[in-house]
Amino acid sequence: MDGWSRYQNYKRAKDQFYMYGFTKRISNLYIGSKCQRNAALVAAKELGIEDQVEAYYTSMGIKWYHYVPYFMVKDPLFLFKRYFWKRTFHEKPYRPKFDFRKLQLQLSI
């Protein structure tokens, strides 16, 4: 189920980066956990802005070994909180606003 949630994050991040390019505000939406950052980085890589997103995360003090999500450190009783269950296992399905396969085909023609 967490994989499902991160896939929704990936689709949302890709749409946002495509529409607005790299912004700190969008990158901050996915800074909470290693899995979310990876979803944003994969989306950014596909759009050619991975270096900017990665540099921003580095500037925010995030290291490669930061696996434990920040909310777990801040709130040790996270298992009993609704936000954890909603964000981790019940992410709403996200429909991409763009069909990137069609866009890729149009660019190659």
Which sign does the torsion angle of CA 47, 60, 3, 88 carry?
A: negative
pTM flag (> 0.85): no
Cβ(87)–Cβ(100) below 8 Å: no
pLDDT by residue for the chain (109 residues), tens digit each?
578 888 999 999 999 999 999 999 999 999 988 889 999 999 999 999 999 999 999 999 888 777 777 667 777 787 787 777 777 777 788 888 888 878 777 766 5
**Is-contact 34 4, C-beta < 8 A?**
no
Distance CA 71, CA 48 (A): 30
Q: What is the pLDDT of residue 93?
A: 84
